[in-house]
Amino acid sequence: MEEIVKREHAIPVSKPATTTKLSKNLTYIKKNYILYLLIAPAVILTIIFKYIPIYGATIAFKDFSPIRGIAGSEWVGLKHFTSFLTSPNFMEILMNTIKLSSFELLIGFPIPIILALMLNQLRKSSVKKNVQLALYAPHFISVVVVSGMVFLFLSPVGPVNALLSTFLDKPISFMSDPDYFRSIYIWSGVWQGAGWASIVYVAALANVDPQLHEAATLDGASLLQRIWHIDLPTLKPVMAVLFILAAGGIMGIGFEKAYLMQTSMNSPSSEIIATYVYKRGLLAGDYSFATAVGLFNAVVNVILLGVVNQVVKKLNEGEGLV
């Protein structure tokens, strides 16, 4: 791309150059139209289901009326944004979203790395394989089932309370207490996903030259020192990329599990932007307002991704995602 631009600058009269470029491209497309046919389904589906909704999101700046449609509805500027930003539950929902996802990141990000380092110490590959097999299992269970298990285990008449009953007078209502929601959400996520998330790290560690470890051992390095100075630096590039993606997704925290684990009683801590958009929009029919809330979320998300990418780039000697 850059080369082409430079070349165009070099030629003072660029008109003939552009036309030849254009006609060259056209002949290429004509000759290779099959390739464009192959990519067409993906392009068309993306336009319909991804780009047209972006146009549809303009109802965030309108008072959507089903009769007039998206184009015909009246523009109202930032009305819905201000009404969200000044609504009494704005701070609560925003903070719930940020807290839930940043705690999840803080706990969920390092655990797979530690797990991979631990697995890497297993010398016998058959043992390692079986251990990994067990660790991956919860990944294949659906989020509905995991949430269902959480409800069953933590119900007032469930096994956890039955075990605790020796110490407590009355059962704890885990699922209807806002104080427990975040811990339950995050730790059930760790239970389900940490093993699977460690795969990438395990594979990166498998690429470490064993001679490095041998040499270090001869020099008197302890196991801990070798992990710190050999294994961890190997993982750094993978960690950087995954961290940017995870941190960039902070505002995009999944709707699916939060909605399943939400009860009317724990909503003071479980109501996040995504669940709020669903309820206000599709359940209550407040289309424009809910779209504005969603759009607010999406924009913050993009900004966040950019910022985290820049920060990691600085910390990681210029290596970022983009």
Tell which positions 156-185 bind another protein, by CB under 8 A: 157-159, 162-163
Q: How many CA atoms lie within 13 A of 306 on its CB side?
A: 6
Q: Which of residues 6-25 bind another protein (CB under 8 A)?
A: 25
Examine residue 49 and tell whether it contacts another protein (CB under 8 A): yes
**Runs of H (alpha helix) within the chain:** 2-10, 15-31, 33-46, 52-56, 69-72, 79-85, 90-108, 110-120, 125-136, 143-154, 159-164, 178-197, 199-206, 210-218, 223-226, 232-248, 255-261, 267-270, 273-278, 287-315
Q: Which of residues 76-105 bind another protein (CB under 8 A)?
A: none
Binding mask of the shown chain, residues 122 to 151, with x at each position contacting another protein by CB under 8 A: x--------xxxxxxxx-xxxxxx-xxx-x
Please identify, using beta-carbon distances, which residue of 56 and 110 lies nearer to another protein: 56
Residue 69 CA to residue 26 CA, distance in Å, equals 38
Question: Considering only residues 5, 13, 42, 67, which one is a binding residue for another protein as defined by CB under 8 A?
Answer: 42
Contact, 151 vs 175, CB < 8 A?
Answer: yes
Examine residue 228 and tell whether it contacts another protein (CB under 8 A): no
The number of residues making up the chain comes to 322
Question: Considering only residues 29, 91, 265, 284, which one is a binding residue for another protein as defined by CB under 8 A?
Answer: 29
Q: Give the three-class secondary structure for 164.
A: helix
Residue 98 CA to residue 297 CA, distance in Å, equals 11
Question: Considering only residues 20, 23, 32, 89, which one is a binding residue for another protein as defined by CB under 8 A?
Answer: 32
Strand partners, 62: 75
Question: Considering only residues 100, 247, 258, 305, which one is a binding residue for another protein as defined by CB under 8 A?
Answer: 305
What element of type H or E holds 75? strand 74-75
Strand ranges, E, within 167-274: none
Q: Which of residues 102-121 bind another protein (CB under 8 A)?
A: 115, 118-119, 121
Question: Considering only residues 56, 72, 110, 233, which one is a binding residue for another protein as defined by CB under 8 A?
Answer: 56
Q: How far is the CB of 12 from another protein (least distance, A)?
A: 26
Q: How far is the CB of 25 from another protein (least distance, A)?
A: 5
Q: How far is the CB of 23 from another protein (least distance, A)?
A: 12
Structure tokens of 151? Answer: 């409800």
Contact, 245 vs 321, CB < 8 A?
Answer: yes
Question: Considering only residues 85, 208, 230, 260, which one is a binding residue for another protein as defined by CB under 8 A?
Answer: 260
Residue 150 CA to residue 154 CA, distance in Å, equals 6
Question: Considering only residues 107, 241, 246, 311, which one is a binding residue for another protein as defined by CB under 8 A?
Answer: 241
Q: Judged by CB under 8 A, how many residues of this single chain contact another protein?
A: 88
Please identify, using beta-carbon distances, which residue of 241 and 311 lies nearer to another protein: 241
Structure tokens of 258? Answer: 């939060």
Question: Considering only residues 19, 23, 51, 89, which one is a binding residue for another protein as defined by CB under 8 A?
Answer: 51
Examine residue 233 and tell whether it contacts another protein (CB under 8 A): no
Q: Which of residues 276-295 bind another protein (CB under 8 A)?
A: 277-278, 281-282, 287, 290-291, 294-295
Contact, 195 vs 135, CB < 8 A?
Answer: yes
Please identify, using beta-carbon distances, which residue of 148 and 233 lies nearer to another protein: 148
Residue 2 CA to residue 104 CA, distance in Å, equals 41
Structure tokens of 303? Answer: 């900004």
Closest C-alpha among 116, 75, 307 to residue 206:
116
Please identify, using beta-carbon distances, which residue of 12 and 166 lies nearer to another protein: 166
Contact, 271 vs 96, CB < 8 A?
Answer: yes
Binding mask of the shown chain, residues 197 to 216, with x at each position contacting another protein by CB under 8 A: --xx--xx------------
Report the 10 Å Cβ neighbour count for 197.
21
Q: How far is the CB of 210 from another protein (least distance, A)?
A: 16
